[in-house]
Structure 1
Amino acid sequence: MFYEHAYISAYELAPLTNADYSGCFLVRDGEKLVGVLPVYLQSAANPLRRLHEAYPEARGGPVLLSHTWHCDDAHVPATAEVLPVLLDAMSQAASILDARWYGFVNVQRGGALSRDLRAAGLPARHLTDRWTTDLGSYENYLARLGIRARANLRRNERRSREAGVAIEILSVEHAALDEIALLCTKTASRFDNTGFYPGVTFSRFVTALGDLAHVIEVRQHGKLVAAGVCLADATRFHTWTCGVDYAVDGRYSPYGVLFAESVKLAIRLGRTTLEGGRGNADFKRRYGLSPRHLDAVLIRA
């Protein structure tokens, strides 16, 4: 998903992170493209805060990274033999750009890139977790939950209907993206991530995603109380970002409504894996998602 041409092009058009430089390494074997690696030179304290917690020695200077912070599943679309070539290219670029460090963020532990980096003698440090679960039917999903979690979802759906909640699935052309951007920004600020979704840039970025994106709007009496921007690839459905306003009429959770609708939409689209994103670990564990550890691998330039 995060290496699709449409996603990278959207990020170039409307960069959600204020990168000092962005580019993409292409490795060719003759006429054949055998490796791709987008890179971004970043120096802002946020979103680098979590990286600096893992690598405090990297504070105070720019870092050349792949992929962006808005990608929660970094890998290298290339064969293992190409990775040393890309690492050498990153090293040279870091030197040219005066970056003190270079490397990868949000690498799934145990995945192909993680194994290849470890085989190259490059240790990793834990950043955060990404949450995921397999999907079949919605009833099958509910059956896997604990009794209380299953009852909570069903009760929340009933209460939201009684409270006059309406749910719409929209294309980016018809979604209220400016309104959604404000809600996502407000929600991110609750978790000390102010600026993670800059308003005007957010709307331009999501619009540029086109058919990759599915927008869920949850409204009560016309007021937007929850919204999610979801991305779908061949097999996976990514709940990429969301915003929630808990000041609602009635005893229901707008986030619970949004989450349940995300699961249902993923199933309707025929996707077999729900990628639930990062954060909110207690909720996601309670509702059947499992953690995938995400690491950073930084190399001193």
Structure 2
Amino acid sequence: MVHRTGAPVFYRHAYLSAYEHAPLTDVESFAYFVARDGGRAVAVTPAYLQTVADPLRRLHETYPEAHGERALLSHAWHCYDAHVPATARVLPRLLESMTRTASIFGARWCGFVNVQRGNALSRDLRANGFPARHLTDRWTVDLAGVSSYEHYLARLGQRARANLRRNERRAQDAGVTAEAVDVGHAALGEITALCDKTANRFDNNDFYRDSAFAAFVTALGDLVHVVEVRQRGRLVAAGICLSDSTRFHTWTCGVDYAVDGNFSPYGVLFAESVRLAISLGKPTLEDGRSNAGFKRRHGLSPRHLDAVLFRI
């Protein structure tokens, strides 16, 4: 069903299994909904029962009335592109089943987070009478037909193009290397510490949970591409990237700006991620949430993400 509907990597069996065995946030219970018609699956979706349901502090700004209460949410916070792989006509039945399950769990709220405004799920929820509230944006760029990194640069404005090239020259002069490595050879201990440090800098404490992060990433297997940026051996930036049939996701990253030289480790990481997406032939680069100024300057466009919650 996931493959048939083109749902993103966050709905692959490997991702869901990894999240259940090494959840990156506190999850009280897991629920997986499958609707069938004559034995054939026509809708699937995961949901997670959470009390501390807002590690990014966005949901409770948008739904202050739900603060501190249990919620059955689809999908997890580490997914920024919620879908319901389904045919539209079964959504009311699916919502009914989710609501009933939330009630059994003792949740006061049920619903969806990080729904792209205007996509099929967004339209179907609105058609069923559920209004949406804006959470944040995620950023994407169309790489269809882009044959090389230089081709990508040529599509940017002159200033952005010059900044990326200058940053790479300065990084090379400062002894910086960037490399894509297999997850089995990645320095996951160093990467975990760097991602956690970066999240803490933005007050997103424990978003990556040291005890679970490396186990989660390892369990993803072939879905993962790891980019390491080092200055004379020291890790100064790292990206955990995911891929599905049409998209390359720069899922999360860590950056240490205390470097020797006038360059941005994040800029080096971004350039290497674009190169990797192009080399893999992915027509869409998904660059996650936040850092809007940098992403807009470098050719990415926002996709508005909404939350749709309803009280049980």
TM-score (norm 1): 0.98
* Helix, strand or coil at the partner of 2:286: strand
How does 1:127-276 map onto structure 2 within 5 Å?
A: 127-135=135-143, 136-137=146-147, 138-276=149-287
Distance 1:175 1:199 in 2: 16
Q: Which amino acid aligns with 1:253?
A: S
Distance 2:68 2:254 in 1: 31
What displacement does 1:251 show? 0.9
What displacement does 1:46 show? 4.1
Distance 1:130 1:61 in 2: 26
* Helix, strand or coil at the partner of 2:47: strand
Q: How many residues align?
A: 301
Q: CA RMSD in A?
A: 1.0
* Helix, strand or coil at the partner of 1:214: strand
Of 25, 28, 39, 1:17 maps to: 25
Residue of structure 1 in register with 2:84 after alignment: 76
1:56 and 2:64 matched: yes
* Helix, strand or coil at the partner of 1:149: helix
1:93 and 2:101 matched: yes
1:66 and 2:69 matched: no
Q: Is the 8 A contact 1:228 1:241 kept in 2?
A: yes
Q: Is the 8 A contact 1:178 1:200 kept in 2?
A: no
Q: Which amino acid aligns with 2:141?
A: T
Q: Which amino acid aligns with 1:295?
A: D
What displacement does 1:59 show? 1.1
Distance 1:92 1:114 in 2: 21
1:182-219 deviations in whole A, cap 9, x for unaligned? 00000011111011001120000000000000000000
Distance 2:288 2:257 in 1: 20
1:155-202 deviations in whole A, cap 9, x for unaligned? 011111111111121111110111100000000111110110011200
Distance 1:140 1:81 in 2: 43
1:221-241 deviations in whole A, cap 9, x for unaligned? 110000000001111100000
What displacement does 1:131 show? 0.2
* Helix, strand or coil at the partner of 1:47: coil
* Helix, strand or coil at the partner of 1:206: helix
Gaps of 5+ in 2: 1-8
Distance 1:46 1:84 in 2: 26
Q: Which amino acid aligns with 2:154?
A: A
1:24-82 deviations in whole A, cap 9, x for unaligned? 11111222111111000111164162101000111121111000000000010110011
Distance 1:214 1:241 in 2: 11
Distance 1:263 1:48, change over 3 A: closer
Distance 2:26 2:99 in 1: 22
Residue of structure 1 in register with 2:3 after alignment: none
Q: Is the 8 A contact 1:18 1:42 kept in 2?
A: yes
TM-score (norm 2): 0.95
Residue of structure 1 in register with 2:308 after alignment: 297
Residue of structure 2 in register with 1:27 after alignment: 35
* Helix, strand or coil at the partner of 1:88: helix
Distance 2:86 2:221 in 1: 26
Distance 1:130 1:10, change over 3 A: same
Q: Is the 8 A contact 1:46 1:193 kept in 2?
A: no
Distance 2:57 2:270 in 1: 27
Residue of structure 2 in register with 1:37 after alignment: 45
Residue of structure 2 in register with 1:105 after alignment: 113
* Helix, strand or coil at the partner of 2:35: strand
1:118-144 deviations in whole A, cap 9, x for unaligned? 110110000000000011132232122
Of 120, 128, 131, 1:123 maps to: 131
* Helix, strand or coil at the partner of 1:38: strand
Q: Is the 8 A contact 2:178 2:229 kept in 1?
A: yes
Of 280, 291, 295, 1:284 maps to: 295
